[in-house]
Amino acid sequence: MDELEKASSLPQAKTFSSETIPYLCSAADGLIILISGFAGGFGYQLSAGYPSPDLAPQFAVGLFATLVYMLQMSKIGFYEFQEIARPRLEISEILLHWFTTGLLLAFIAFLLKVGDAFSRGSFVLFYVLAPLGLLGLRKLTKSALAQAISSGMIGCRDAVLVGDFKELTALKPEDLLAICGATEINSFLLSRDADRLSRKAADSRTIDVVADFVRRHGCRQILLALPWSDSDQIELMRDRLKVLPVAIRLLPDRHVRSLTNLTLSTRNRSFAIEIQTSPLSGAQQLSKRLMDIVASSLALVFFVPVMALTAIAIKLDSPGPVIFRQTRKGFNGNTFVIFKFRTMTVQENGPDVLQATREDSRVTFIGALLRSLSIDELPQLVNVLKGEMSLVGPRPHALAHDNYFETVLSDYAFRHHMKPGITGWAQCNGARGATPSIEHISERVKLDLWYINNWSLWLDVQILMKTFFEVVRKHNAY
């Protein structure tokens, strides 16, 4: 069995993902604080012989204390899975941040003069019960998590480890636990061939397998365990993996760890070098997708009459199908079939695709009108609903052009870090139409990468509004 086969045979499926643990732990802490607030109020009032207290002040104080405490703990990485999985109980951190939470609550109560609504006795009891509950919960969580990890019930699904044989074997289980929150993750070994050319060829094949694995399993980060002195191998990994929209981090090698007395299981995990960042977080992807679904659904309903008339006009104008289909690359380099209204007498979809030019004889009479108004792009709303495209993003090119541009522009592959769009930052800034020269496509790529690095929902809204005026101007539309 060769190294590639060994990598593929490692365990790849876990029962639960570690991504859910931080959310559960933070929610449990919040529940403990709220329960402590109610218990403090009821306990003190009942022990003093007073009637049952009003629940509203208890809930308000507990909710505010939860917010303050969790914000402090989140800031220090307390709810990161790697922190939760470590055996050491963070007694000093919990007590210190709860103490500061209590001081802030007391200060606000003094300023707002709310002592009558929430008695001092209730507050003191709440102040004592909460940290006891938080410490007990954290200890119980660590014990349960350690057992779950050792039995293989929990693992890190979103990470892939790629590295040199010596570097991978030097990583201890506690190091993997600190990095990924699991003692076993999917690992891929690179070649140990002494010949430089043979090793590069073998590593290229391994990288192809890694890329395919990442795409199929939706992994969100790649961890590199390589000697820092091997710049050729690091550069090869970066160049070949940059097409993937995932974070890529270079871990400190064994020599760096020995020189600095740094173990990966310490809190200083930021010592790893981030070679590539992930373009959008899960929450950002969800918000963009929701906007796409709502807006494209409304647009389809609005443009149904226009699309129906367009289909009839195309049929009457020239022989051939109404819809033009062409294979293009989308998010993560995955291919999909794009839909457009047919505007030409040809339907090229192969290794040679000739771009449309001004006064192109292949463009039909109706096609010229559709292109000038960008009506030919309307069927792509279906691609948006299917999740293959977005309303806003880098415009996809024919595969023949994609393959060529990737060879002449080193940053071109980064365009696939986001779903292609019906319109984009490049199009609403004048970079629309054909790309007859390297300078033209280089400028378009520069604008696309700016969009990816500066994305926001508001930016998408601005682009959609600017696109409307670009369509009215008919700039570079032919």
**Residues 158-172: pLDDT tens digits?**
788 999 888 888 887
Residue 136 has pLDDT above 90, yes or no: yes
Asked if residue 221 lies in contact with residue 134, where contact means CB atoms within 8 angstroms, the answer is no
Mean of pLDDT values over 470-478: 65
Say whether both 262 and 290 belong to one domain.
no
Handedness of CA 306, 308, 309, 313 (dihedral sign): positive
Q: For residues 34 and 145, state if they share a domain.
A: yes
Q: Is residue 195 predicted with pLDDT exceeding 70?
A: yes
Structure confidence at residue 11 (pLDDT): 42
Share of the chain above pLDDT 70, in %: 80
Q: Hey, which bits of 203-288 come out as E strands?
A: 221-225, 247-250, 273-276
Neighbours of 208 (CB within 10 A): 12
Stretch 112-118: mean pLDDT: 57
The stretch 183-194 carries a mean pLDDT of: 82
What whole-number distance in Å separates Cα of residue 91 and Cα of residue 147? 21
Q: Please indicate, yes or no, whether residues 297 and 418 belong to a single structural domain of this protein.
A: yes
Kindly give the pairing relationship between strand 221-225 and strand 247-250.
parallel
Looking at 276, 299, 323, which one is the last position of a domain?
Answer: 276
Higher pLDDT: 322 or 476? It is 322
Looking at the structure, do residues 293 and 437 belong to the same domain, yes or no? yes
pLDDT the model gives residue 181:
59
Residue with the two structure tokens 């009637």? 51
Average pLDDT in the chain: 81
Same domain as 142, residue 28: yes
Whole-number pLDDT of residue 112: 61
Burial 391-426 (b: 16+ CB within 10 A, else e): bbbbbbbbbbbbeebbeebeebbbbbbbbbbbbbbb
Q: Which of 223, 243, 276 is the last residue of a domain?
A: 276
Residues 310 and 255 in one domain: no
> In this predicted model, what pLDDT tens digit does every residue of 342-373 receive, in sequence order?
988 877 766 666 666 666 778 889 988 998 88
Residue ranges making up the domain that contains 55: 18-150
250 inside domain = yes
Q: What gap in Å lies between CA 59 and CA 390, rounded to an integer?
A: 43
- What mean pLDDT is predicted for residues 387-401? 90
Residue 260 has pLDDT above 70, yes or no: no
Burial of residue 303 (number of CB atoms within 10 Å: 0-12, 13-18, 19+): middle
The contacts of residue 131 (CB under 8 Å, 6+ apart) are 94, 95, 98
The tens digit of pLDDT for each residue in 65-94 reads 888 898 888 888 888 777 787 778 899 999
Structural domain count of the chain? 3
Reply yes or no on whether the pLDDT at 384 is more than 50. yes
**pTM greater than the 0.95 cutoff:** no
Give residue 13's pLDDT band: very low, low, confident or very high (50, 70, 90). Answer: very low
Cα gap 72→145, rounded to integer Å: 23
Backbone angles phi, psi at 328, to 5 degrees: -140, 165
pLDDT number for residue 59: 77
